[in-house]
Structure 1
């Protein structure tokens, strides 16, 4: 009787492993913060060797930066360039989607979570600044206080996400896109149109 040949060793799918580490890290950083999250925790939850974090991201800081980049991509997904009249509806759509889409919620919460690490904080502030500048460029490109107004819109949006996902305040938590759009339009118009 012939002995069966051993199965060839499984080849690691580098792209899939990298994405798995990114997904686990984003969830951990959003939930626990930068300082409380260890690379060992991330690797263990992903079921991979901790050395792969260094291989794919260089360091914990590199992984956090990749998570922030992923969060920005998630937040920009399908947005393109939008007109001022569509900003409120777009934000309402994203906010209501985030309730059902854990990844979107994690992306938004990642932007809010303080880390205790100055380099991580600089990265986080840079991302928030870039989003604000993009919003200001779309909504009030010539207004002298356009960036401030865009940051107020961003702060309002992130505050709604926190109240819906973390605190579960009603009726905000159960409000759908159609219910959120009209009052959010009023707020955004008050902030952005006044500067035009």
Structure 2
């Protein structure tokens, strides 16, 4: 009996690599994550990282862009932003929904990836300010949006590095009311 060759699915392989990389980068940071770790977790050959992303830096950039897309999409439904942030925060400990907010705290040491990371943070805050009732995105309103984003990133960091309770075990439903209060206080004009 001859072995049936396994059918290749580039899109599925790319998705597996991105999911594994997001988990690894969010949990361990850029420097402590190896391409072999990512490939092993995804169950694929390490050479496929170079095929689909050119390098570890390219894979990190793709992960950051994914976070940027998700956050950007959240602003389109501005009333859903606190829920999306609560979902991101509560999903940190699950395999299916790695806390992508942590990726925005991770520096790669790569200049291009760092520019993308800071650009995503800046753009999200500006879009959030505009959606929050500041169409001209003046400095005071952008600052309020950046404070809101900083609070969300601080929550992500605390949840990933401490067991402080009740924050450490709060689920999406428990996180949503205080996030909504913060959102309403900082961006009341939406």
- TM-score, with normalisation over the residues of structure 2? 0.81
1:34/1:117 contact within 8 Å kept: no
1:105/1:161 contact within 8 Å kept: no
Instruction: Go from structure 1 to structure 2 and tell me whether the alpha carbon gap of 1:25 and 1:159 turns closer, same or farther (over 3 Å shift).
Output: same
> Which residue matches 2:110?
117
Instruction: Go from structure 1 to structure 2 and tell me whether the alpha carbon gap of 1:87 and 1:175 turns closer, same or farther (over 3 Å shift).
Output: same
The runs of 5 or more residues in structure 1 that have no matched partner are none
Q: Which residue, out of 149, 155, 174, partners 1:154?
A: 149
**Superposition deviation, residue 154 in structure 1:** 0.5
Deviates more, 1:52-61 or 1:176-185: 176-185
Distance (Å, rounded) in 2 between the aligned partners of 1:45 and 1:180:
30
The runs of 5 or more residues in structure 2 that have no matched partner are none
The yes-or-no answer on 1:141 pairing with 2:135 is yes
Distance (Å, rounded) in 2 between the aligned partners of 1:176 and 1:32:
22
Q: Does the residue aligned with 2:125 lie in a helix, a strand or coil?
A: helix
**Superposition deviation, residue 92 in structure 1:** 6.1
Distance (Å, rounded) in 1 between the aligned partners of 2:94 and 2:154:
17
- TM-score, with normalisation over the residues of structure 1? 0.78
> Which residue matches 1:166?
161
Instruction: Go from structure 1 to structure 2 and tell me whether the alpha carbon gap of 1:184 and 1:53 turns closer, same or farther (over 3 Å shift).
Output: closer
Q: Does the residue aligned with 1:173 lie in a helix, a strand or coil?
A: helix
TM-align CA RMSD? 2.8
Distance (Å, rounded) in 2 between the aligned partners of 1:177 and 1:25:
24
> Which residue matches 1:65?
61
The structure with the larger Rg is 1
Distance (Å, rounded) in 2 between the aligned partners of 1:72 and 1:103:
18
> Which residue matches 1:187?
182
**Superposition deviation, residue 107 in structure 1:** 0.7
Instruction: Go from structure 1 to structure 2 and tell me whether the alpha carbon gap of 1:108 and 1:115 turns closer, same or farther (over 3 Å shift).
Output: same
Distance (Å, rounded) in 2 between the aligned partners of 1:96 and 1:117:
26
Q: Which residue, out of 27, 35, 44, partners 2:40?
A: 44
**Superposition deviation, residue 71 in structure 1:** 2.1
